[in-house]
Structure 1
Amino acid sequence: MSGTVYRRTLLIGALVSLTISAPSVAFAQEAKAPDYEAIVAAPDRTDADRQADQRRQPAKMLAFTGVRTGMKVLDMEASAGYSTELLARAVGPTGTVYAQDSAAVIERFVKDRFDIRAQKPAMKNVVHVVRNFDDPIPPDVSGLDLITFFFAYHDITYMEVDRAAMNKKMFAALKPGGFLIIADHSAKAGDGINVARTLHRIEESTLKQEIEAAGFKLVAEADFLRHPEDPRDAKVFQPTVPNDEFVLKYQKPL
């Protein structure tokens, strides 16, 4: 092979290599974890949200979820949108967050608070989904990367909701390998769902049993909201000691 032909072959090989590797590099950059601390510190977040941060520890929560730029996320019982906004900032303009609420919850508790938040630029990639809990996902939505269900599963237990159907719908909507992050206020052993309406707590083992019955596999647990000093016998609103709360990561098997 002559020197000219050899150099030409090397050049063609280098161009082919760049063409093949460029999408991989772009995908890696797209999937990069955002700066969670910077998201929480964003200057346009409200004072009310910053007060909630003190007990919710959102940077740690976002890191535990593993939310990435470009992801497609469902936030169950979004309520006024505190977590929805944080997730929207994390996935960025190339991602989407579906914020689910039932019409009954909006009417009784949310009112126009979500709509006010939705006007913020950070919420441009959010789709408000008003659907019942036992059928929470629009039929045209599938292949979700992540579902979050924060401090609200206990509420579902005293509503007229088929929780088994709800959990199966969430399982079906996730892509294989996708994650469900669920957090709630801890009840005492043996309480089950009996104190969900009165204390707004749920026994961790009861929740685990219901979620795992849908096919989810527990892959991690976090302790950053654990407070063993909590006797778990009082309402979670305005507690005398910090509430003991569990945070669980489930995965849909590949």
Structure 2
Amino acid sequence: MNRSILRAAACIAFVSAALLVVPQVRAEDAANPDYAAIVAAPDRSDADRQVDQRRQPAKMLAFAGVKPGMTILDMAASAGYSTELLARTVAPSGKVYAQDSATVLERFVKDRFDTRAKAPAMKNVVHVVRDYDDPIPPEVKDLDMITFFFFYHDIAYLPVDRAAMNKKMFAALKPGGFLVIADHSAKAGEGTSVAKTLHRIEESTLKQEIEAAGFKLVAEGDFLHHAEDPKDIPVFKAPVPIDEFVLKYQKPQ
């Protein structure tokens, strides 16, 4: 009789422990999204899938560490390719602010962004039309992450105070928040001199400017590195894949 009671108590203890483990596993799964599945969503456009081939979005999302529930600012969102991927990843409770200047928006991408904005996947996106050197509404604070993909080189030849822009981004992040930035590589020593002609920027120049605002480099991604790129051809005309650098910065705690 005593043995039966002991066996029953042991079974109850085992089941209770198992039940306690289940929520932990589910929470872990939620915190580590299936980025490949997000990219493979059947309602994404064929045009975006073509861009995927050179942008490697699943690797980019994983490198950045985008999680459900995050609040993210997507700088220079353009037509919204990255914005939509971020929005899908932070859903359902997260939010993405898609920033662009009025001038760039009107001249190049307004119709394309507005069309994309009608998609259900964009319901947690707020479009922010502000100058690049003052990109963040005053009420937006304690961001988890800022992304800045393949446009910093353009900022370099536009009438933008980059130092002011970088300080504004730093201030808008919460302590421990991240800035993930990627761009097209220029040759060593070229700095920003080929930003308009080749649409490239020297990695060390970008690093110097970002770090001057207080950001600390915590990771570098090599998944868009292409050694075969001679770096002397305009990005949009290159016959080989473009060499691109990906950097992850953090605002100190």
TM-score scaled by structure 2? 0.89
Partner of 1:51: 50
Could you tell me which amino acid in structure 1 is paired with residue 203 of structure 2?
A: E
Q: Distance in 2 between matches of 1:150 and 1:230?
A: 19
CA pair 96-79 structure 1, distance change in 2 beyond 3 A: same
Partner of 2:234: 235
Q: Distance in 1 between matches of 2:237 and 2:24?
A: 48
Could you tell me which amino acid in structure 1 is paired with residue 113 of structure 2?
A: F
Could you tell me which amino acid in structure 2 is paired with residue 178 of structure 1?
A: G
Deviation for aligned residue 1:111 = 2.6
Could you tell me which amino acid in structure 1 is paired with residue 192 of structure 2?
A: I
Q: Distance in 2 between matches of 1:27 and 1:193?
A: 46
1:36 aligns with 2:12: no
Contact 1:30 1:69 survives alignment (8 Å): no
Q: How does 1:80-229 map to 2 (within 5 A)?
A: 80-229=79-228
Q: Distance in 2 between matches of 1:210 and 1:33?
A: 31
**Which deviates further from its counterpart, 155-164 or 30-39?**
30-39
Q: Distance in 1 between matches of 2:118 and 2:34?
A: 23
Deviation for aligned residue 1:109 = 1.1
Q: How does 1:8-47 map to 2 (within 5 A)?
A: 28=27, 32-47=31-46
CA pair 27-71 structure 1, distance change in 2 beyond 3 A: farther
TM-score scaled by structure 1? 0.89
Task: String of CA shifts for 1:70-102, please: whole Å, max 9, x gaps.
Answer: 000000000000000000000002000000000
**Which deviates further from its counterpart, 108-117 or 95-104?**
108-117
Contact 1:103 1:132 survives alignment (8 Å): yes
Task: String of CA shifts for 1:124-168, please: whole Å, max 9, x gaps.
Answer: 000000000000000000000010000000000111100000000
Task: Provide the secondary structure at the position in 2 that maps to 1:180.
Answer: strand
Could you tell me which amino acid in structure 2 is paired with residue 182 of structure 1?
A: I
Task: Provide the secondary structure at the position in 2 that maps to 1:237.
Answer: helix
Deviation for aligned residue 1:107 = 1.2
CA pair 30-142 structure 1, distance change in 2 beyond 3 A: farther
Contact 1:73 1:147 survives alignment (8 Å): yes
5+ unaligned residues in a row in structure 2: which ranges?
A: 1-19
Task: Provide the secondary structure at the position in 1 that maps to 2:48.
Answer: helix
Could you tell me which amino acid in structure 2 is paired with residue 53 of structure 1?
A: D
Deviation for aligned residue 1:25 = 6.1
Q: Distance in 2 between matches of 1:245 and 1:238?
A: 15
5+ unaligned residues in a row in structure 1: which ranges?
A: 1-20
RMSD: 1.6
Contact 1:136 1:169 survives alignment (8 Å): yes
Q: Quote the sequence identity (%).
A: 77
Q: Distance in 2 between matches of 1:27 and 1:44?
A: 25
